[in-house]
Amino acid sequence: MNATPAKWTNETWPIAAAMIQYPGTLANGRSVQDQSVDEWHATLSDVVDAGFTEVDPTDSWLRLADLAPERLDAFMTVVGRLGLSVPAISTSRRSVIDPRHGDEYLAYGHRVIDTASAIGSGAVSFGLFEPLTDAQKKALWFWTVDGARNPDDPGTWQKAVRRIRELGRHAEELGIELSLEMYEDTYLGSADSAVRFVEDVGLANVGINADLGNLIRLHRPVEHWQQMMEKVAPHAKYWHVKNYSRMEDPASGVIVTHPAPLEQGIINYRAAIRMALSHGYSSPFLCEHYGGDGLSVSATNRDYLRRILPR
């Protein structure tokens, strides 16, 4: 299937900056939710100065769905004045099967979908991963410490399927795609499991956020990125892209990973993106990077994507 979207070229493809390098709670204890318009403008100016024309607010920074209508309008006015757009909204660590807050996060998910529709975003990303543990927060790289796991329980799996299907149907009514983020020790924690999960959901607008970086960074054996990509490519939708170097010593069993620019890590994104395009991928990208000046590395990654996307 030749599915290069006629509506986008390598220069016009929506490639958004993530806001993961900006905290949701400031050093003085204030929440970004309560910041002034001028303060939002100052932060988003960083994104513009890095050369981005798209941004995903990423709700670890700002929960658009929890802003009052007039505050949401004010935020979008800032976005527009800076020449930015919001092609998609990503959620983080708000799982609909969270043991304590699952019902709350399900309701929040519906608000995210309504908000995406209201501001003209075409995609939302959800995940089944939970907040970082105290041990993960203390680690230099949180992924080197095991976190919460989705239970190995058919009943909980089916609950997750039902709730994501509910969100998917809501999104479908509004013409929005729903992308489920691959993440370790969740029901999207391997390529096989991710495919089975979205097939169980069974909606055409619900697919996989093929964030393989979340898996290849683990200090444990993982499936080769190419094998994973071959399995998930037919289901790929809104995609978080990041890369890591990965060193494995078979003799000792030692595995070490480190964040890397897209073109320098172990995942060959030129090949991975071509796989997705061959199956009709036509969604925006989100550039993420942990460590150092993540926004600047994301900008480098954006430029790399523009070089390798179809002209």
Dihedral (C-alpha) 197, 198, 201, 202: value to the nearest 10 degrees?
-140
Return the CATH number at 85. 3.20.20.150
**158 located within any domain:** yes
Asked if residues 171 and 205 have their Cβ atoms less than 8 Å apart, the reply is: yes
**129 located within any domain:** yes
Asked if residues 297 and 261 have their Cβ atoms less than 8 Å apart, the reply is: yes
User: Which token pair is 291?
Assistant: 């460590």
**208 located within any domain:** yes
Range of the domain at 281: 15-241+268-308
**255 located within any domain:** no
Question: How many domains, the chain?
Answer: 1
d(CA 117, CA 125): 14
10-residue block means of pLDDT along the chain (311 residues)?
62 97 95 97 98 97 98 98 98 97 98 98 98 97 97 98 98 98 98 98 98 98 98 98 97 96 98 97 98 97 97 88
Beta-strand pair 177-181/285-287: unpaired
State the Rg of the chain over Cα: 18
Percent helix, strand, coil in the chain (nearest 5)?
Answer: 40, 15, 45
Residues 6+ apart with CB under 8 A from 169: 203
Q: For the chain, give the mean pLDDT.
A: 96
**71 located within any domain:** yes
Give pLDDT, residue 4: 44
φ, ψ of residue 133 to 5 degrees: the values are: -80, 170
Q: pLDDT tens across 176-214, in order?
A: 999 999 999 999 999 999 999 999 999 999 999 999 999
**207 located within any domain:** yes
CA-CA-CA-CA torsion sign (153, 159, 162, 163): negative
d(CA 294, CA 262): 12
Give pLDDT, residue 283: 98
Nearest alpha carbon to residue 220 among 299, 109, 128, 143: 143
Give pLDDT, residue 7: 84
**252 located within any domain:** no
**256 located within any domain:** no
- pTM of the predicted model, to two decimals? 0.96
Nearest alpha carbon to residue 171 among 194, 197, 200, 204: 204
